[in-house]
Amino acid sequence: SQKIEQNSEALNIQEGKTATLTCNYTNYSPAYLQWYRQDPGRGPVFLLLIRENEKEKRKERLKVTFDTTLKQSLFHITASQPADSATYLCALGSGGYNKLIFGAGTRLAVHP
């Protein structure tokens, strides 16, 4: 069955460092992959979308890579700030309509 794995342990980093989050998947061939941020008690907020024919996407301090051979995406936040502390969700989509399959998320804590 389709499986998405994200770092189950919380990631603690120092302010100013680069945070790197991992998303691995099996038994799936996604047409695109999305990253969302979720704060406690709130709905997910879209950050970046990368398609199967793209290797890398950037937006301000955010960068995502997508390796369909390794079946892995890496999500980077450079110059991290305490305000970046949240849970980050990886989601895969296969085209057609908008059904997304989500990972369980990785909690990021950025310490001053």
Partner 1 sequence: DAGVTQSPTHLIKTRGQQVTLRCSPKSGHDTVSWYQQALGQGPQFIFQYYEEEERQRGNFPDRFSGHQFPNYSSELNVNALLLGDSALYLCARGAKNQPQHFGDGTRLSIL
d(CA 111, CA 109): 6
Query: Is residue 79 involved in binding partner 1 (CB under 8 A)?
Result: no
31 binds partner 1, rule: CB under 8 A: yes
Where on the phi/psi map is residue 95: left (φ > 0), alpha (ψ -120 to 50), or beta?
Answer: left
Q: Does 70 bind partner 1 (CB under 8 A)?
A: no
Among 9, 41, 60, 112, binds partner 1 (CB under 8 A): 41
Cβ neighbors of 29 (< 8 A, separation 6 or more) are 52, 68, 94
Of 24, 61, 72, 102, the one binding partner 1 by CB under 8 A? 102
Residue 18 or 29: the one with the smaller Cβ distance to partner 1 is 29
Binding test (CB under 8 A) with partner 1, winner from 3, 17, 42, 59: 42
- Strand 11-14 versus strand 106-111 pairing type: parallel
Say how many residues touch partner 1, by CB under 8 A: 26
